[in-house]
Amino acid sequence: MSRATRKWARFVATAGVVALIAACAPGSDDDGDDGDAGGDTTADADGDADADADGDTDPSDLGELTLVVWDQEVRGGQSEQIDALNEAFEAEYPNITIERVSRSTDDLRTTLRLALSDDDAPDVVQANNGRTDMGQYVASGLLEPLDSYAGTYGWFDRFPESVRSLAMYSDDGEVYGDGALYGLPQMGEIVGLYYSKPKLDELGIDPPATHDEFVAALEAADDAGELPIQFGNLNPFAGIHEYGFVQNQFVDAETIRNLGFGRPGSSWLEPESVEATETIMDWVDAGYFTDGFAGLDYDDSWQQFTQGEGVFLVAGTWLLADLDGAMGDDVGFILPPAGASGQNLVTGGISIPFAIPSNSDNKDAAAAYIDFITNSEAMATVADAGNLPVVDAEQQEASGLQADVFEAWAQAGAEDLLVPYLDYATPTFYDTITAAIQDLLGGQRAPQDFLEHLEAEYVEQVGS
């Protein structure tokens, strides 16, 4: 071994040691920093918030500052809507400059984890309200509870409980749907039933209000050689909507909410769930869904619907603008038919809520911003852009399909018909249920096996 080699070996050894020292437990070092920083800022925020509660906070008194906002509204109409609101906010408060960072949902989701734990976090972020995202952020103390701001701005009166609960968590992130408020949405969304008006007219059928009427309509459509339900399940999320749509016609609201939020007290194995699961399989066997739906892309599917393939389409209000543009007066929207419960239960919730990271330096301005983009003027802007405002929908002027959607949303709110997406239940339930539904519809899992598979993960989560 030459001297140089030994020197080299020493260098490698030192480098290795340095690397190992740097490689301490993940999250531990950051954790310490965060803990301190978090503690400080929380105290500050509380102080400020108390001041807010006294009513002496005006965003224009906050001095010159730059507000960094991360949103995921990249689609045409929604992006314009945010731009318009940002401009209005800057005009109202010239001392505040908004720096907008806009990414697609998936991109935002993957970068948000790192951004939130950074000391230089954004001031406002759109954080997905499910357990996988918001739940974990709350558990790690990375989001600011908004309750004190809610008092200042009157959010508790403005947003109904059913909307707020979708962004509420206990401090440890374990309980979903209860606890402190962590975000506010701009838009509502429900997964309802789009129908082709000319096709229903041809069949001589009215839009179905009950499960029995809906089944009769499916049979009539099938007999007439029409495709009863347009459906594409290549993108796994579509299955959750389709299954939820059928489940809503058999199972009562309380059970679905417990299952959806991952709360104890219910079971996937009750007879109603079995019946729902067997019904959707009957429809698959009867050929009521698009031929080859397992390999059909989601976007291709609804585009085929706009081209006249399919009498019904089960989809969310996020397609409102697209379907309206493509079909105009030929398309209508209703809540899912009422089943055993007698209620038109509808899967739905809110668009991704805006939240304030704990590491933000401008929390008061951030809260003012969130209030600004969700106040009644903002709701009018949302409606103008062709979307469904989360509140005040009934006050907006709308016609055609938009009017149908607004009416359905208002009814869902008034009659408390909203049930959550099924994948909220556990941090990994999205994967579990999407794969399980594909397995079910593909004939790889029997209905009973499917339900037991879901029950196992639900039981593990609620610990019952």
Partner 1 sequence: MGSMAGTHAADRAADTPATRRRRRSSGPPGEPRRLAYLYILPAVAVFATFIGFPLVRSATFSFYEWDGLGSSTWVGLANYTAVFSDPTLRGAFFHALVLIVFYAVIPVSLGLLLAATMMRARRMRGLGLFRVLIFLPQVVPMVVVAIAWRQIYGPEGPLNSLLRGVGLDGLARPWLGDYTWALPSVGLVGTWVGTGLCFVLFLAGMAKIQRELYEAARLDGAGPLREFFTITLPSVRGELAVALTLTVIAALKTFDLVYVMTSGGPGNRTAVPSYEVYRHAFLIGEVGTAAALALVLTAIVFVATVIINRIGDDGQGPAGPPATRGIRALLRRRHDDPPTTVTSAPSGALSTPAASDEGGRRR
H or E element at residue 126? strand 124-126
Interaction between residue 110 and partner 1 (CB under 8 A):
yes
Which range, of 15-23, 157-165, 350-358, 366-374, touches partner 1 by CB under 8 A? 15-23
* Of 266, 424, 276, residue with least CA distance to 336: 276
Interaction between residue 342 and partner 1 (CB under 8 A):
no
Interaction between residue 447 and partner 1 (CB under 8 A):
no
Helix (H) and strand (E) counts in the chain: 20, 12
Interaction between residue 358 and partner 1 (CB under 8 A):
no
Least Å from the CB of residue 461 to partner 1: 13
SS3 state at 125? strand
Interaction between residue 233 and partner 1 (CB under 8 A):
yes
Q: Cα(171)–Cα(138) distance, rounded to whole angstroms?
A: 7
Q: Which of 69, 85, 98, 116 binds partner 1 (CB under 8 A)?
A: 116
Q: Which of 288, 289, 293, 458 binds partner 1 (CB under 8 A)?
A: 293
Cβ contact 64:351 at 8 Å: no
* Of 96, 174, 177, 79, residue with least CA distance to 129: 177
Q: Cα(82)–Cα(70) distance, rounded to whole angstroms?
A: 11
* Of 337, 345, 333, 338, residue with least CA distance to 417: 345
Interaction between residue 139 and partner 1 (CB under 8 A):
yes
The footprint of partner 1 on this chain (CB under 8 A) covers a number of residues equal to: 53
Interaction between residue 290 and partner 1 (CB under 8 A):
yes
Interaction between residue 238 and partner 1 (CB under 8 A):
no
* Distance, CA of 392 to chain centre: 19
Measured from the CB atom, the residue of 129 and 290 that comes closer to partner 1 is 290
SS3 state at 181? strand
Q: What is the sign of the dihedral through the CA atoms of 257, 263, 265 and 271?
A: positive
- Other C-beta atoms lying within 10 Å of the C-beta of residue 285: 9
Measured from the CB atom, the residue of 62 and 139 that comes closer to partner 1 is 139
Interaction between residue 403 and partner 1 (CB under 8 A):
no
Q: What are phi and psi of 139, to 5 degrees?
A: -60, -30
Interaction between residue 23 and partner 1 (CB under 8 A):
yes
Q: Cα(419)–Cα(284) distance, rounded to whole angstroms?
A: 24
Least Å from the CB of residue 346 to partner 1: 26
Contact pattern for partner 1 over residues 142 through 161, marking x by CB under 8 A? x-------------------
Phi-psi region of 386 (alpha: psi -120 to 50; beta: other; left: phi over 0): left
Encoded tokens for 377: 């003027």
Interaction between residue 297 and partner 1 (CB under 8 A):
yes
Q: Which of 57, 78, 126, 132 binds partner 1 (CB under 8 A)?
A: 132
Interaction between residue 300 and partner 1 (CB under 8 A):
yes
Least Å from the CB of residue 229 to partner 1: 15
Encoded tokens for 372: 């600004």
Least Å from the CB of residue 27 to partner 1: 5
Pairing of strands 331-334, 312-316: unpaired
Least Å from the CB of residue 131 to partner 1: 10
Q: What are phi and psi of 414, to 5 degrees?
A: -65, -40
Q: Which of 101, 234, 274, 398 binds partner 1 (CB under 8 A)?
A: 234
Least Å from the CB of residue 74 to partner 1: 17
Measured from the CB atom, the residue of 120 and 157 that comes closer to partner 1 is 120
Which range, of 59-67, 69-77, 129-137, 411-419, touches partner 1 by CB under 8 A? 129-137
Cβ contact 155:149 at 8 Å: yes
Q: What is the sign of the dihedral through the CA atoms of 352, 430, 444 and 263?
A: negative
Measured from the CB atom, the residue of 118 and 202 that comes closer to partner 1 is 118
Give the 3-state secondary structure of 282-344. Answer: HHHHCCCECCCHHHCCHHHHHHHHHCCCCCEEEEEHHHHHHHHHHHHHHEEEECCCECCCCCC
Least Å from the CB of residue 429 to partner 1: 10
Least Å from the CB of residue 86 to partner 1: 28
Encoded tokens for 33: 């920093």
Q: Which of 109, 203, 361, 446 binds partner 1 (CB under 8 A)?
A: 109
* Distance, CA of 209 to chain centre: 26
Contact pattern for partner 1 over residues 241 through 280, marking x by CB under 8 A? ----------------------------------------
Position 15: which residue type? A
Q: Which of 180, 220, 281, 294 binds partner 1 (CB under 8 A)?
A: 294
Measured from the CB atom, the residue of 8 and 156 that comes closer to partner 1 is 8
Which range, of 132-140, 349-357, 390-398, 408-416, touches partner 1 by CB under 8 A? 132-140
Question: For binding to partner 1 (CB under 8 A), which residues are involved?
Answer: 1-4, 8, 15, 19-20, 22-28, 31, 109-110, 113, 116-117, 132, 136-137, 139-142, 233-236, 290-297, 300, 304, 427-428, 430-431, 434-436, 438-439, 442, 444
